[in-house]
Structure 1
Amino acid sequence: MKYKSDFLEYYIQKPGVIFSFIITIFSSILLVGTLISKKLHFDYFIFIALLGLIFEFIYGVGLSFVILRKKEKYVHLTPFLITNWLIGCFCLNAFFPLFYDLPIWVYLATLAFCLSNFLIYRNSDENRETSISYFINGLSFAIIVYFTIYLLSLMPFSFVAILALGLGFYGLVPALVLIIHIVTIMRHLNRNRINYISFGAGFLMIIIGLTVFTIGLSIESRKIAQSVRIQSFDHNNELPNYIAISQRLKPNFFNEILLKKDIVYIPIHDILTYRGFDSFGSKQYNERKINNPIVSIAYLFCQDLNLDDDDRINILKSNFDKRLEAEEQLWSGENLITKNIKEDVKVYPEARLAYTEISMKIECTEDSRRDQEAIYSFQLPEGSVATSLSLWVNGIERKGVLTTKEKAKAAYKQIVGVESRDPSLMQWKEGNKVVVRVFPINRENPRTFKCGFTTPLKVEDNEMKYQSLSIKGPNISNAETISRIQMAGNTNITTSKDFELKKNFYINKSKGLDNWEAIIPLNKALPSTSFAWKNKVYEVKDIQKIIIPFTPSEIILDLNSSWTTKQIESFVELNKQNVFVYVNDEKKEINKENFRAIEQEFEDLHYSLLPLYKISENSLIITKCGTFSANFEELEDSDYLKNIKAETKQRNLKVINISSDINPFWQTAKEQKYITYFQTSLKNSLKLIEQKRFILFKTDTNAVNIEPANISIVESPQNNSLKSNGPNHIYRMYAFGKVLEEQVKIQNDSLSQNQYVELAKDANIVTPISSLIVLETDEDYKKNGIEKNVDTLGNASINNDGAVPEPHEWLLIILGSTILLFYYRKNKNQTS
């Protein structure tokens, strides 16, 4: 330490050091201010950057002239010169994209390079041990090499641009620093072999790490490129081009980086083109573009995937769950944070339902002025439905109004994209997802919104299970979260995270949003629970399973990479003559002799898309799902989906899933009744085939089955024997099931579509044909042709879930109130 302090004191006394130190600190402050201002979208960051450039230019020219004239006297100031040159580069990058957005580690590496230079460049004959400084310098020197390579193609332009206020000079800075440093380091390394080894070890460590990463990325790129070439021979014209690649692409760290080339990560050869949100063809991807040196260099040694941007975004959506990032976004939301979350759950054990209300407060990062748009994605348990939305406007809660999805989307685009005022929008998405949008949010206007979801309790063995919602959105991980559970009735509950019982509520405080579950004992005898609405009663009953005789015309094994050899063998050993698989869209018999060879065809197929419209009537499909696949929305324009919609339902296909998971494709096919679906174990599925049976859930025109909860909700005319003793969520679940059930029918039937929009409005549920929207004023609803819902259930609420009085009940209530008021006034007059 004494040596370091002595050296610092000695160095400060040298000519020009204090002045250069002050200039460097001032320039560094301007650079940090520029970066923060740009990050927070301050309009005046360009002024700060230009001020920094002026200081850097004047100081750099002056110091360069002084060093060239009196080298011996001022050469010790070379580290200051290099540092200020690089600061100037970063300031220029703020408004002219020399390097685009850089990861923070790049700035830290450059800082390490500049600081280590002060020890290495010192003009001293002392042979002190500085191996650590040389090692750090060797590590960080790689970033200067990268900057030089990156700007190599810009150098001719830089020479010309020097005439424009000298700004073009900064395009030459990395190359000048590289030359100066190589000359200096070679002279200094000869003095001490240990320093030579230290510098080389630091630089070599970077090269080795980069090589290992590049080899891994290159191997994966060749696999994908080869797959693209192979699949081009077997291309199915009914499916989009990217599907074959998506099906055989196992998600991993390297594949995601390769797919994000040009979309998120900028390759070195792309420096002369800048592309914003609208540069990805027809699709948008809401992740800022980054110049990551390690990734950019590795791209140079990777094969081109021969996939356009739209195809790669679709693969990111299906294989990497990046559907939220690919949502259309009218305004940026990169500076938003979720400040706090309130998770309020009410469980109705007798109805086997729960209602979850999520309240969120969203803020901009400190001092951000520009309006931002927040987008949240809610992954719901199977069978769940969104039933409420509220947005606080000027401190007042405004509740959502339910309308058609087209009207809601058009109103949101108009008000956000054109008028830049208050709305919030909740939309249904395939795969049990709901997307909520909130606008505007800025530093002076944090926003609070609330949304509610009705979910079935999943029945397993002798237990009912509540599963918390999975939520993606702006920086949720650091939110202050309070979770509360309340039970309707006296029922025990156990949870996977610690809840403390306070005043009949279970309370938990935490950071972020954990995945948790609650277990409730199952009553073997389902209590009589019902809800009355508009002269109808909706009663919760046990679901009825029916075992029917079923001899399939064919058995189709829907193979993929998750199947084991033993599982495939179990089916071929049944010695059935009608067991087939689809290989490259062609049906092929599978038996004891060829099943091992056929298995190899599927060893890298991670999800399938069977041609359901080609499968023989009354066939049985055995599938084993994973969790990801393309969904109907992404296949919307394909001939494949058009054929499924036109020709599948009438084929009476039955599906057994031997996995507990279900992917988005099969989920939608099940919900929209294209197939009859049953989930069970491998053992039970083999037993059913042997016995020539199939298990159905009994259906009726006036009933909706809620399979996860093992219940059926039955509609019947209201009579005196059934009273409304259950929550209104019973009717909401019934309505949701009816809308989904009729989705196939309403594709080309506008009358039916209007009918089911009215049903969705009545129950206030978000469905494939309806959305909830909050607008700032009542006038906004009128302008956009949206009628406020009258005589409907309205938005669900954690505190108001009971029966709504029927008209005759309202009459009795009014009559009773009038009589009470009459007696109250009469008694008051007598007393006075």
Structure 2
Amino acid sequence: MKHKSNNLEYYTQKPGVGISLIVTLFSSIFLIGALLSKESEYNSYQGIAFLSLICEFIYGVGVSFMLLRNKETYIHLAPFLILNWLIGCFSLNVFIPVFQDLPIWVYFTTVAFCVSNFFIYSNSDESRSTSIAFFINGLSFLLILYFAIYLIPIMPFSFLGIIALGLGFYGLVPAIVIIIHTITILRYINRDKNYVVSFSGGILVVVISLIVFTAGLNIESRKINQFGRINSFDQNSELPYYISISQNLKPNFFNEILLKKDLVYIPLHDIFDFRTFDSFGSKQFNERKIHNPFISIAYLFCKDLNLDNDDKINILKSNFDKRLETEEQLWSGKDLFTKTIKEDVKIYPETRLAYTEITMNIACEKDTRGEKEAIYSFQLPEGSVATSLSLWVNGIERKGVLTTKEKAKAAYKQIVGVEYRDPSLMQWKEGNKVVVRVFPINYKTPRTFKCGFTTPLKVEDNQMKYQSLSIKGPNISNAETTSRIQTVGNTKIETSKDFELNKGYYINQSKGLDDWEAYMPLTKVSNSFAWKNKIYEVKDIQKTTIPFKPSEIILDLNSSWTTKQIESFVELNKTNLFVIVNGKKKEINKDNFKAIELEFEDLHYSLLPLYEISRNSLIITKCGTFSANFEELEDSNYLKKIRTETKDRNLKVINISPDINPFWQTVKEQKYVDFFQTSLKNSLDLIHKKQFVLFKTDTNTVNIPPANISITESPQTSAIKTNGPNHIYRMYAFGKVLEEQVKIQNDSLVQNQYVDLAKDANIVTPISSLIVLETDEDYKNNGIEKNVDTLGNASINNDGAVPEPHEWLLIILGSTILFFYYKKHKKQTI
């Protein structure tokens, strides 16, 4: 160690080393500052990078002159010269993006190359440390070689740039470094075979890694293209081309990289095409665009996917849950993070409902410039509805106003895109999702918003289960999170994460937002809510078992089915048992079921042609968690036929999985089929008995299957106690809107009727959204009427019955009498 310390001290005393250290330190600081500023969209980052270029230019000219004049005296400065040339290249790239945006590993690899040069160029005889340096140098050498080859097309411009400004020299730097370094390496490796082995070993590690990575990409790319070619023979043109690929694509690391070509990862053939990366197709994909040399080289040896960018985005949405990344974003959301989260849950065991209020504080990284837009996605448990939205404006909470989704979207675009002022928007999305947008956010002005969701408690095995919300948004993982649970009544609960009972509340403090569940004993329902001379009463759901002899039984097979599950149905010996293969019906029996199973081993979700299935058929499905949804199929003939030719076929569906994917969720909600979720054993029993289970329906009843409850509307009478929360009515209204969704799409009068119902209950639905605007004048200017005589926004502390007009009169009269009585009594005591 002492020997190494002496060597370092000796080296620093050599001519020019001191000034080289100072220049390298300052130019590195300037480069790091420029990169951080660019990431933060700081408007003056180009000036910071230019300071580094000035330092590099003066230093580079000076050291180059000294080396040419007296090589033996100043040869030890060559590693400093190479290091500072490369710093200059990256500094120039900040405001003339020749290299485009680079991943952080590129900078670290370049640093490793330059640091190893100091050991190699030092003429040291310490073979062990120098061998390690040669190995590291071999690992990083290929990156510099890549940049040298990569810049060949602009070398003519670089020569012109040298004549004009001198900056063009940096376009030649990688090539010059490769020439100097190759000559130096060849000279040194002749001295010791260990150096050859170490340097070659480093190169070999990179080459082998690249070959393995490229092979993985190639396997996936061939598989994806094969799906496309095979399915091109399918005469069913009702579905978009990309769907067959999406159905057969199991999400993994390699196929995600392939799908992100052009969208996130820049291929080499596009490097010098200085187009903006917003316009790859009609759809937007909100991920940073990166030039990753490792991936760019691998792309050269992979066959292109026969997909346009919109198709790739649709596959990323359905197979990789990238729907949030495809949301239209009017302003950048870079450098935003979620600072704090307050998760407040109130459970109503007697109604089997819960209300969850999420309060979030959003902030920007330090020194961030410009206004930012935050977008959050809330994945809700089945049957849940969004019931409140608030945004703090100038320190005051402003509550959301419910209006049609078209008016809300137009107002948000106008105020964010044109006027740059304060709004927040909450929108319904298919698959139990809600998206919330907040604008503007900057470093000086963090924002706080609050949203609330009414959710049914899921009944499982004689227990009720509350399931937490899954949230995606700006950097949630480091947020300071406080979770609180309270129950109405004395119901005891057990949770999957640690909560401490404190003053009647269950409290947990943590970082980020974990998925968790709370369990409680199943409680008998007995509650109701009064609103506008109507009573909304919670009752046990009424199931009825009807005789049902299906004309056909269709097994909706996919890769999640097991051989035993298929065999269970085949052993029923039904002559009307079929599967759908490539859009055609095929009989399945004991002799062929194993062969048929192989045809579905890569199918991860199906989209059955429901409009072609025989009337009165029974479909047995086993859902996964992902699929395309109605939104992605909007322009297809398939969806048009589903909407117009399915509902009158009296199709019954049994799902033997506890999960439900977005496609079946929408089919179920919009009542295209009768849908029942149960176990494999129960489904076999129903087929054997020629029965089907229906939930009893009525014009004035809404069923909520996850909670095994129904909500019934009836005229108000004094005989029924109304001590339930207003969430009962909100859930009833949400169920009504979803039930009538098919009619709403084709009838503007019906749509207006159900928009009024949504306003009355203050719920976010396919036809209504919540929006917060900065001033009352903004609502007026955008044709949005504020909530009058409605339930308004839900609240964790105010969930009881809202007094009727005559009740308000009695309350005011009673309060007045009490006031005068108190005043008179006070005078008498004095």
Taking structure 1 as the reference length, what is the TM-score of the superposition?
0.98
- CA deviation after TM superposition for structure 1 residue 154, in Å: 2.6
Structure 1 residues 129, 695: closer, same or farther in 2, change over 3 A? closer
| Counterparts of residues 28-67 of structure 1 (less than 5 Å) | 28-67=28-67
SS in 2 for 1:110: helix
Any stretches of 5+ residues in structure 1 without a counterpart?
Answer: none
Please name the residue that 2:351 is paired with: 351
The residue correspondences of 1:382-781 to structure 2 (distance < 5 A) are 382-523=382-523, 526-781=524-779
CA shift, 1:591, in A, is 2.3
Contact map agreement 1:554 1:578 (CA 8 A) in 2: yes
**Compared with structure 1, are the counterparts of its residues 72 and 232 closer, same or farther at alpha carbon in structure 2 (3 Å cutoff)?**
same
Tell me if the contact between 2:376 and 2:436 (Cα under 8 Å) persists in the aligned partners. Answer: yes
Deviation at 1:378, TM superposition (A): 0.3
Q: How many angstroms does 1:822 deviate by?
A: 2.8
Deviates further, 492-501 or 7-16: 7-16
- Check 1:807–1:151 CA distance in 2 against 1; reply closer, same or farther (3 A cut): same
1:152 is displaced (CA, Å) by 2.9
Distance 1:287 1:372 in 2: 15
1:828 is displaced (CA, Å) by 4.2
Q: Which moved more, 1:151-160 or 1:65-74?
A: 151-160
| Secondary structure in structure 2 of the residue aligned to 1:279 | coil
Q: How far 1:202 moved relative to its partner? A: 2.0
Secondary structure of the corresponding residue to residue 99 of structure 2: coil
Map of 1:18 onto structure 2: 18
Give the Cα–Cα distance (whole angstroms) in 2 for the partners of residues 68 and 9 of structure 1.
26
SS at match of 2:325: coil
The amino acid across from 1:248 in the alignment is N
Q: Deviations over 1:176-218 (max 9, x none)?
A: 1111111111111222222322222222222222221111111
Q: Find the residue that maps to 2:367 and give its secondary structure.
A: coil
The question of whether the paired residues in 2 share the 8 Å contact of 1:277 and 1:284 is answered with no
Structure 2: which amino acid aligns with 1:48? Answer: I
Task: List 4+ stretches of structure 1 deviating above 3 A.
Answer: 123-129, 274-277, 825-832
CA distance in 1, matches of 2:669, 2:211: 48
CA distance in 1, matches of 2:702, 2:532: 18
Q: What's the counterpart of residue 156 of structure 2?
A: 156
Whether the aligned pair in 2 keeps the contact of 1:402 and 1:771 (CA below 8 Å) is yes
The code of the aligned residue for 1:388 comes to S
One-letter amino acid matched to 1:676 = D
2:75 and 2:786 map into 1 onto residues whose CA distance is: 77
Aligned residue pairs total 830
1:106 partnered with 2:106: yes
Find the aligned partners of 2:236 and 2:332 in 1 and give their Cα distance.
Answer: 37
Q: Distance in 1 between matches of 2:632 and 2:825?
A: 71
Equivalent position of 2:266 in the other structure: 266
Q: Deviations over 1:498-535 (max 9, x none)?
A: 00011000000000000000001112xx2420000000
* Change over 3 Å in CA distance of 1:126–1:787 after alignment to 2: closer
Answer yes or no: is the 8 Å Cα contact 1:402–1:772 preserved in 2: yes
1:100 to partner: Cα distance: 1.4
CA–CA distance in structure 2, aligned partners of residues 705 and 274 of structure 1: 56
Does the 8 A contact of 1:76 with 1:123 survive in 2? no
- Secondary structure of 2:324's partner? coil
Q: CA RMSD in A?
A: 1.4
TM-score (norm 2): 0.98
Q: Tell me, yes or no, if the aligned pair for 2:383 and 2:432 is still in contact at 8 Å.
A: yes
Selected match of 2:784 from 772, 783, 786: 786
**By how many angstroms is 1:157 displaced?**
3.0
Alpha-carbon offset, residue 38 of structure 1: 0.8
Partner of residue 280, structure 1:
280
SS of 1:162's equivalent?
helix
- Alpha-carbon distance change, 128 to 728 in structure 1, aligned in 2, over 3 angstroms: closer
Matches of 1:65 and 1:96, distance apart in 2: 27
Amino acid at match of 1:156: P
Q: How does 1:105-124 map to 2 (within 5 A)?
A: 105-123=105-123
The answer to whether the 8 A contact 2:387-2:793 is kept is yes
Report which stretch shifted further, 145-154 or 689-698: 145-154
Which amino acid letter does the alignment assign opposite residue 3 of structure 2? Y
CA distance in 2, matches of 1:127, 1:694: 80
Aligned to 1:310: 310
User: Which digits, 9 at most, give the CA deviation of each residue in 1:309-334, with x for residues without a partner?
Assistant: 10001000000000000111011102
In 1, Cα distance between the equivalents of 2:292 and 2:778? Answer: 45
Equivalents in 1 of 2:152, 2:574: separation in Å? 67
After superposition, the Cα gap between the structure-2 partners of 1:14 and 1:676, relative to the gap in structure 1 and judged at 3 Å, is same
Corresponding residue SS for 1:355? strand
Q: Which runs of 5+ in 2 are unaligned?
A: none
Q: Describe how 1:298-377 pairs up with structure 2 within 5 A.
A: 298-377=298-377
Instruction: Give the direction of change, closer, same or farther, for the CA distance of 1:714–1:165 in structure 2 (3 Å limit).
Output: same
Deviates more, 1:106-115 or 1:404-413: 106-115
Q: Deviations over 1:282-341 (max 9, x none)?
A: 000000011222211211111111111100010000000000001110111021000010
Cα distance in 1 for residues equivalent to 2:142 and 2:399: 56
User: One-letter code of the match for 2:656?
Assistant: I
In the alignment, the residues of structure 2 paired with residue 149 and residue 613 of structure 1 have an alpha-carbon distance, to the nearest angstrom, of: 57
Give the counterpart letter for 2:620 in structure 1: I
Separation of aligned partners in 1, 2:369 and 2:291 = 26
1:808 aligns with 2:810: no
Tell whether the 8 Å contact from 2:138 to 2:202 is kept in structure 1 after alignment.
Answer: yes
CA distance in 1, matches of 2:127, 2:788: 88
Deviations 1:44-76 (A, max 9, x none): 101111222222122222322221222112121
Q: Distance in 1 between matches of 2:768 and 2:829?
A: 58
After TM superposition, give the deviation of residue 277 of structure 1 in Å: 4.5
Other-structure match for 2:238: 238
Give me the whole-angstrom Cα distance separating, in 1, the residues matched to 2:480 and 2:129: 49
1:417-458: per-residue Cα shift (whole Å, max 9, x none)? 111110000000000000000001001110000000000000
SS of equivalent residue, structure 1 residue 209 = helix
Check the 8 A contact 1:655/1:677 in 2, yes or no: yes
Contact map agreement 1:142 1:203 (CA 8 A) in 2? yes
Q: Indicate conservation of the 8 Å contact 1:425/1:772, yes or no.
A: yes
Deviation at 1:803, TM superposition (A): 0.8
The AA in structure 1 aligned to 2:801 is A
Mapped to 2, the partners of 1:559 and 1:161 lie a distance apart of: 63
Report deviation, 1:22.
Answer: 1.3
Counterpart residue type for residue 304 of structure 2: D
Per-residue CA deviation, residues 649-708 of structure 1 (Å, 9 max, x unaligned), is 111111001111110000000001111100111121111111110000101110100100
- For the 8 Å contact 1:558–1:621, the answer to whether it is kept is yes
Structure 1 residues 230 and 274, CA gap change in structure 2 (3 angstroms) = farther
Which segment drifts farther, 767-776 or 96-105? 96-105
Give the 3-state SS of the residue equivalent to 1:325 in structure 2. helix
Q: Deviations over 1:142-165 (max 9, x none)?
A: 221222232233333323333331
> Which SS does the other structure have where 1:597 is aligned?
helix
Matches of 1:11 and 1:84, distance apart in 2: 18
Tell me the secondary structure at the aligned position of residue 744 of structure 1.
helix
Question: Does structure 1 retain, via aligned residues, the 8 Å contact 2:124–2:130?
Answer: no
Does structure 1 retain, via aligned residues, the 8 Å contact 2:358–2:450?
yes
C-alpha distance in 1 between matches for 2:639 and 2:744? 16
- Specify whether residues 144 and 371 from structure 1 end up closer, same or farther in structure 2 by C-alpha distance, changes over 3 A only: same
Give the letter for the 1:708 counterpart: P
Are the counterparts in 1 of residues 40 and 334 from structure 2 also a CA contact under 8 Å? no
Residue 91 of structure 2: aligned partner:
91
CA distance in 1, matches of 2:686, 2:79: 79
More deviation, 175-184/593-602:
593-602
The CA distance in 1 between the partners of 2:697 and 2:199, in whole Å, is 76
- Higher alpha-carbon deviation: 115-124 or 42-51: 115-124
Give the match for residue 818 of structure 1. Answer: 816
Q: Give the Cα–Cα distance (whole angstroms) in 2 for the partners of residues 89 and 236 of structure 1.
A: 54
